[in-house]
Amino acid sequence: METGLRDNVAVVTGASSGIGAATAIAMGREGARVALTYKGSEGAAQEVAERVREAGGESLPIRLALEDPSSIGAAIGEVTDRWGGIDVLVANAVRWPQARADEGRAEALPLSEWQESLRTNLEGTIATINAALPAMRGRGWGRIVLISSSVADEGQPGPNPYGVGKSALWGLARQLAWDVGRDGILVNVIGTGFTVTERNLATFGHEVREAVASQIPSRRLSSPEEVANLVVFLASRANGNITGEQILEGSSTGRSAHVM
Total structural domains within the chain: 1
Answer yes or no: is 257 within a domain.
no
137 pLDDT more than 80: yes
Q: What is the pLDDT of residues 118-135, one digit of tens each?
A: 999 999 999 999 999 999
Query: 250 or 188, which is more confident?
Result: 188
The pLDDT assigned to 257 comes to: 34
- Buried-exposed string 176-186: b where 16+ CB fall within 10 A, e elsewhere: bbeebeeeebb
The pLDDT assigned to 161 comes to: 85
72 pLDDT more than 70: yes
The residue-averaged pLDDT of 13-39 equals 97
pLDDT bucket at 158, cuts 50 / 70 / 90: low
Query: 77 or 97, which is more confident?
Result: 77
Answer yes or no: is 166 within a domain.
yes
**According to DSSP H, which parts of the chain are helical?**
18-29, 42-55, 69-83, 111-118, 124-139, 151-154, 161-180, 198-203, 206-213, 224-234
Q: Is 191 helix (H, G, I), strand (E, B) or coil?
A: strand
Which of these ranges, 28-42, 130-144, 181-195, has the smallest mean pLDDT?
181-195
The pLDDT assigned to 258 comes to: 37
Answer yes or no: is 83 within a domain.
yes
CA 52 to CA 59: how far, in whole Å? 6
Question: Average pLDDT, whole number, for the chain?
Answer: 87
Centroid of chain to Cα 165: 13
Answer yes or no: is 41 within a domain.
yes
Q: What is the pLDDT of residues 243-252, one digit of tens each?
A: 999 998 776 5
The pLDDT assigned to 200 comes to: 65
Domain that holds residue 201: 9-249
Answer yes or no: is 80 within a domain.
yes
Query: 12 or 250, which is more confident?
Result: 12
pLDDT bucket at 205, cuts 50 / 70 / 90: low
238 pLDDT more than 50: yes
The pLDDT assigned to 118 comes to: 92
User: What order do you get walking across the sheet with 33-38 strand by strand?
Assistant: 58-63, 33-38, 9-12, 88-91, 142-149, 185-192, 245-249
Answer yes or no: is 2 within a domain.
no
Query: 253 or 205, which is more confident?
Result: 205
pTM attached to this predicted model: 0.89
The pLDDT assigned to 143 comes to: 98
CATH, residue 75 = 3.40.50.720
Answer yes or no: is 168 within a domain.
yes
Query: Catalytic residue numbers?
Result: 162
Which of these ranges, 77-91, 97-111, 156-170, has the smallest mean pLDDT?
97-111
Q: Is 12 helix (H, G, I), strand (E, B) or coil?
A: strand
253 pLDDT more than 60: no
Answer yes or no: is 150 within a domain.
yes
